[in-house]
A and B are shown apart, each in its own frame.
Chain A
Amino acid sequence: MNIDLLTLVTFFPALGILLLLFIPKDKADTIKSLSLIIAFVTFLISLFLYGAFDPIANGMQLEVNLPWISSFGISYHMGIDGISLLMIILTTILTVLAILASWNSITEGVKGYYISMLLLQVGMIGVFCALDLFLFYVFWELMLIPMYFIIGMWGGPRKLYAAIKFVLFTMFGSLLMLVAIMFILFEYQSVTGEFSFDMLKIISSLSFGYQEQLWLFAAFALAFAIKVPLFPFHTWLPDAHVQAPTAGSVILAGVLLKMGTYGFIRICLPMFPDATITFIPYISVLAVIAIIYGALVAMVQKDVKSLVAFSSVSHMGFIMLGIFALNIQGLEGAVMQMINHGISTGALFLLVGMIYERRHTRLIEDFGGIAKVMPVFSVVFMIVTLSSIGLPLTNGFVGEFLILLGTFKANVWYAVFAATGVVFSACYMLWMYQRVFYGDVTKEENKKLLDLDLREKVILLPLIILIFWIGIYPKPFFDKIEPAVKNVLEQVSHASSVRLTDDYEIIAIDKEQPGQEKLTLNLSEESDKK
C-alpha cells in the first residue's frame, strides 16, 4: 500500500500514542524514550517531505484527496505549499526539542503528558496540511484539547485560570469560524448544487458578494486574531505562557501562534480578497499598536517569561503587518518571521525553563551576575537575545527587514511607527539581560548554579545553527516560500478594486492614474517636481 507522505507525517505521532497506551504508566523512562523516538522519526519524515517538495512547481503539492463524509461533501484533502512545508518542519523540530526539554521537569502524569504532546503534534501538522475547511476545523480544535491539559495539569500555580482563559478565548473565536464555515458550505451548495468544504474548490468557483465577504472575513479574522494574538485580544497569552510548563510555552509560541497568521494567509486572503483590501488599514493599525504596545509592556515586566510573552505580541504584530502589506517582500518577510519567531522565542522559553529548573523562580530581581556562574548559558542567551532583537546575520533581521521594507512600500507611516519596534526591542531585551546576567552575584542561591549540561546543549544547538543559517544564507528558505507567496498574491488580486502588477504588487485601480505607478509611496516624485 502506498501511504502518502502527508498522511504519514501527520498521523505518525498518533501511531506513537497507540504504542504509548500499551506501556504501563510507571515506566516513565520507556515512555519518554518512546515519545522522543516517535517525535524524532516524525522530524525525519518531515525532512523527506522537504526532499519530495518541488520548489519550482506552483500551487499545492503532494495532494491527497479522499472522500470522508461524502453526504456533506467533507473530504480528506491534504496538500502543502512552501509555507506549510516550512511550518511543518518547524513543528517537528520544536516538538523534538520540547520533549527533550520536558525530560526532567515533568515527573507526574508522565504518560498523559507525552500523549498530549504527540496529540498536539497531530493537530498542528494537520492544520498546516488541511485543504478542506472541515478537516481544518477538526485539526484546529484538536490542538486545543491537549494544550488545555498541558497548561491545566502540568502548569504553574495559576494553571487552571490560565488554561480556562486560553480555551475560552480560543473557543470564542473558533465558534464564529465554525458559523462562517457553515455559511460557506450552504453558499457553495446554492451555487453549485452540491456540498463541499474543499478550500481550493471554494476559492476557484465561489465569489462572495462584498457584504458577505466582510462578515465572513470578520468571523475568520477574529478566530485567527485571537490566536495570533493581535492587540487587543492578547491578554490570554501572558497568562498562558507564564503558567504553562516550558515545553508548553515553546509549542505555544513556536507553533500555535503561527496558526493565526497561517489562517490569514491560507483562508482570509485568498477567499475574501475584497474584504482583505477593506480591512488592511484596521488590521495594520492594530498590528502597529501591537508592535509598540507589546514592546512597552514587555519592558516593565518583572517575570522573564511574561516579558518574552509580551515580546511575542510585538513580534507577531510585525508578522501581521507584513502579511497585510500585500507585496512579496512583506509577505515573504512575514512567513520568514513566523519561522524565526518560532526559533528565537522557542529558544528563549527553553532557556528560561532551564534557569527555572535550577532556581524555581523567573523573577528578574532574583537574578544578577549569572554570566559569572553560567558562562555558556549566558552566551547562548545572548545569541538568542540578539536574534530576537533582529541583529543582522541572525535570523530575526532577515524577516523583520523584509517586513519593514514591504510595509514601507505599502504605507510609509505604518513602517515608520513599526520601525520604532527596532529600538524598543533592544530596550526591553538588553535591560532584562543586564539585570539577569550582569552585575555581581548578590543572591546566595545563585552562586552555585551549574552551567548547561549535555542534554541542554543538545536542545539548544539546533536552534543556534538555525539562527545563523537563516541569518546568513536564507536563500533555500526563500526559494520554497516565493512561489507560495506569489500564489497568495494572485488570489488576493481577484478583488475587484485592485490589480496585480508585474512585480507582484497589489495596487488599487480606482486611485491609479496613468504615469503614476508609485502612488503608494507618500513621498512621490510628484511633490518634487513642483
Chain B
Amino acid sequence: MSEYLYLIPLFPLIGFIINGLLMGRLSKSIVSIIACGSVFISFLISLFSFLELKSLPVANRLLEQTLFTWIPSGDFHVSFGYLLDPLSAVMILVVTGVGFLIHVYSTGYMSHDPGYQRFFTYLNLFMFSMLTLVLGDNFLLMFVGWEGVGLCSYLLIGFWFHKQSATDAGKKAFIVNRIGDFGFLLGMFIIFWHIGSLNFVDVVAKAPEVFVYGGAVVTTACILLFIGATGKSAQIPLYVWLPDAMEGPTPVSALIHAATMVTAGVYMVVRTNVLFVIAPDALMTVAVIGAATAFFAATIGLAQNDIKRVLAYSTVSQLGYMFLACGVAAFTAGVFHLMTHAFFKALLFLGAGSVIHGMSDEQDMRNMGGLRKYMPVTFKTMFVATLAIAGIPGLSGFFSKDEILWKSFSSQFGHPLFWVIGVVTAALTAFYMFRLVYLTFYGKERMSAEAKSHIHESPKSMTVPLIVLAVLSVIGGWVGIPHIFGVTNYFEHWLEPVMAQTASASGAEGHALLAGGGDAGMEITLMVVSVLLVLISIFCAYLLYNKKTEISTSLANKLSGVKSLLLNKYYVDELYGGIVIRPVIYLSLFLWKVFDVVIIDGLINGMAGWYGDISDTFRKGQTGRVRTYATVFMFGVLMIIAYMIMDI
C-alpha cells in the first residue's frame, strides 16, 4: 500500500516543469494555482500516508517504494526509492504543510514582482528536492535532495540577480554548502565500503554488527556526516552563509532558511542515529558544536539592526539547540524542536516579510516603531510567535525547548554545562526577540513621513497563513507534553520505532537512554529556573527598548567595543576572507602566471628555442658557396684517408 509515495515529490516536480517550460506564457493566477495546488495535493497525500502509517501496528510502521535502479556499478547498487516511517512522516507533513502556507503567502508577497513565475518555479523545485531529501530511502537519494535544495537555495537567494549582494550571498551559500557536502560524500564512502549498502534499512540493520562501539571508523564516518550537517544547517564553522542568505525574498527565508532546508542536517543526524549512538565521541562533537553555535549566534542576534538578520541569527541559534539535543542522544527532542521551530520561525519570518512589505521594503528596525496600530494582524501573530520562541509556558516552543534543556542535563550523554549554556541562550533569545518586537511594533514611529504614508496591513493571502501558523505555534507543542505533567507524550511514542532501533543498536546504553532517568523534582526545578530567567530577560528588554530607551543608548555607548564586535559578527567573515579566500586566489594566480606560463611553458619554449639556436648555428654552414663546400669536402676526404692509413 505504498505505491503512491512517489506522488508526494512528483506533484511539485510537475508544477516546476509546467511553470518552468511555459515561462512567461501563463497568467499570474494560473501560475499560482499550479504552484500552490501541486504543493497542496502533496500535503493531502502526505496527510493520507501519515494516517495510513498510523493505522499500522507500531512494529510495521515502515512503507517502502522502489521505483527503479539509479546507479548500478558492480556491487554498488542504488535505487530511486522512497521510505516512509514515523520520522519522514513528520518531516513531510511539516514540509508540505508549512510549504503550502508559504506558497500562498508568496502569491501576495511577490504579486508585484516581474519574476513571479520564475519565483514559483524555483519554489516548486525546492519542494520536490526537499521531499526527495526526507523521503529518500538511501543516503545517495538523500544527497540528491540535499544538493537539490542547495541549488534552489542558491537560485532563490540570488533571485534578484541584478543585485551584487544577492548573487554574492547565493554563491556563498552554495560553496559553503559544498564544503559540507565534501564531508557528506566521504562519510557515505566509509559507510558503503563497510556496510555494503547505502540503504537506510540495511544500514540500521547492519551497523551494530559491522561497527565497533566507539571505534575510529564509525566515529570518523559520523563526524564527516556531521560536517555535511554543519554546512546545510548553518553550524559553526560553516554558518556564515545563512545570515547573508537573507538577501533572498522573505518567503524564501521563511521556507528554506528557517522552516525546512536548514533543518535537513538535523534530520540527517536523526536519520542516522543508529550510527551516532555507537560513536559517543561523534555525539559529543555534535553536542558541543550545537551548544556553542546556539550561544554564539544568540549573542550576535543581540546587536543586529536588520529585522531579518536578527531572525537569521536566531535560526542559527535554534538549530544549535536541535543539534545539542541530537548530541545528547535526545533525537526525539531534536525533531520535536525542529517541528515547533518550523511553525514559529516561519511565522516570524513571514511576519517580518509583512512588515517589510508594509514599510515599502524597509528592513532596518531603527527606522520602524509603533507599527502595532497599523498592522494589527501582523503584530498579534508575531507576538504569539515571539512568546513561543521565548519559551513561555503553554506554547509550542516551551515544550520543545524544555525537553532539550532537560535532556541535555539528564541524558547519559548530557552534562550540566550543556544545560547552563542552553538556559543562558534561552534568556538571550527572549531578550533579542522582545527587542525586535519593541523596536518594530512599539515606541516612537521613526520612519520617514513618506514611508509612513504607505504603511498598510498586508492582504488576506498573507495574513491568513500568519494566523494559521500562529495557531500552530501555540498548539503545536501539545503533542509532546512531558511525562511529569501526567499526560502521554504522543510525539515521543510516535517516533519510538525509529529510535527503538537505536536502543537495540547500542544495547544496554540505548535502553538506559530511552528510559530517560533523573527525577521529576529536578526536572520541575530546572524548568522553573529557565522560565524565570526568560521572564527576567524579557523584562530587561522591556526596560531597555520600551520603557527607558535612553538606558539602552547609554549602555550601547559604554559598551561600544562589544557592540561593534557583535554588530560585525565577531569579524568571522573578514577572518575567512583573510585566511582562506584571498590566499587561495593568490595561490591560483601564482600557479597560473608563474607555474604554468613561466615554468612549464618556459621550459618547453626554452627547449624549442635551444633547438632553434642549434639549428641556426648549423644553418650558417649552408652558405651556398661552392668553393667553401669543395674545401670542406676535400678536408673530409683527407681525414678519411688519414684515418685509413693510420688504421693500417
Contacts and interface: CB of A to CB of B under 8 A. Distances in A.
Interface of A: 168, 232, 235, 238, 293, 296-297, 299-301, 327-329, 332-333, 369, 371-372, 375, 386, 391-393, 397-398, 401-402, 404-405, 408-409, 415-416, 419-420, 422-423, 426-427, 430-431, 434, 437-440, 472-475, 478, 482, 503-504, 518, 521, 523-525, 527-529
A235 B189 contact: no
Contacts of A329: 73-74, 76
Given A409-B193, A439-B161, 16 more contacts: A235-B596, A296-B588, A333-B73, A375-B23, A393-B144, A393-B148, A401-B71, A408-B189, A408-B190, A423-B175, A426-B178, A438-B162, A473-B68, A475-B70, A482-B74, A529-B212
Interface stretch (B180-188, B397-405, B559-567): B180-188
Interface of B: 23, 68-76, 140, 143-144, 147-148, 151, 154, 158, 161-162, 164, 167-168, 171, 174-175, 178-179, 181-182, 185-186, 189-190, 192-194, 211-212, 215-217, 220, 584-585, 587-589, 591-592, 596, 600-601, 604, 608
B592 A297 contact: yes
A438 B167 contact: yes
Nearest to B171: A430
By DSSP majority rule, is chain B's interface helix, strand, loop, or mixed? helix
A405 B192 contact: yes
A334 to B, nearest CB: 11
A397 B70 CA distance: 12
B187 to A, nearest CB: 11
Contacts of A525: 194, 212, 215, 217
A426 B175 contact: yes
A168 B179 CA distance: 40
B74 to A, nearest CB: 3
Contacts of A437: 161
A404 B73 CA distance: 13
B588 A297 contact: yes
13 contacts: A297-B588, A297-B591, A328-B73, A392-B143, A392-B144, A401-B140, A402-B73, A427-B175, A478-B71, A482-B72, A482-B74, A523-B220, A525-B212
B161 A438 contact: yes
Given A232-B600, A235-B596, A430-B171, A527 B74 contact: no
Nearest to A472: B70
Contacts of B75: 328, 503
A372 B162 contact: yes
B506 to A, nearest CB: 16
A475 B164 CA distance: 41
B137 to A, nearest CB: 15
Contacts of A301: 592
A430 B175 contact: yes
A422 B178 contact: yes
Contacts of A527: 215-217
Contacts of A472: 70
A392 B591 contact: no
A264 to B, nearest CB: 19
A372 B161 CA distance: 9
By DSSP majority rule, is chain A's interface helix, strand, loop, or mixed? helix
A434 B212 contact: no
A523 B70 contact: no
Given A372-B162, A426-B174, A528-B215, A296 B584 contact: yes
A426 B585 CA distance: 14
Nearest to A481: B73
Contact of A431 (B70, B171, B192): B171
Contacts of B601: 235
Contacts of A419: 182, 185-186
Contacts of A392: 140, 143-144, 147-148
A385 to B, nearest CB: 11
Contact of B151 (A297, A299, A391, A473): A391
B581 to A, nearest CB: 9
Nearest to B145: A392
A66 B171 CA distance: 58
A235 B217 contact: no
A422 B161 contact: no
Contacts of A327: 74
A434 B161 CA distance: 9
Nearest to B146: A392
A408 B193 contact: yes
Contact of A528 (B143, B161, B212, B584): B212
Nearest to B215: A528
Nearest to A310: B592
Contacts of B74: 327-329, 332, 482, 503-504
Closest CB pairs A-B (n = 9): A328-B74, A528-B215, A408-B189, A296-B588, A392-B144, A528-B212, A438-B167, A438-B161, A297-B592
Contacts of A503: 74-75
B162 A521 contact: no
Contacts of B76: 328-329, 402, 405
A478 B148 CA distance: 24
Contacts of B192: 405
Contacts of A328: 73-76
Given A333-B73, A402-B73, A440-B162, A423 B148 contact: no
Contacts of A333: 73
A369 B189 contact: no
Contacts of A235: 596, 600-601, 604
A102 B182 CA distance: 40
Contacts of B144: 392-393
Given A408-B193, A440-B162, A296 B591 contact: yes
Contacts of B164: 438-439
Nearest to B150: A391
A420 to B, nearest CB: 7
B189 A475 contact: no
Nearest to A239: B601
B174 A430 contact: yes
A430 B592 CA distance: 19
A235 B601 CA distance: 7
B588 A300 contact: yes
A235 B603 CA distance: 11
Nearest to B193: A409
A414 B447 CA distance: 58
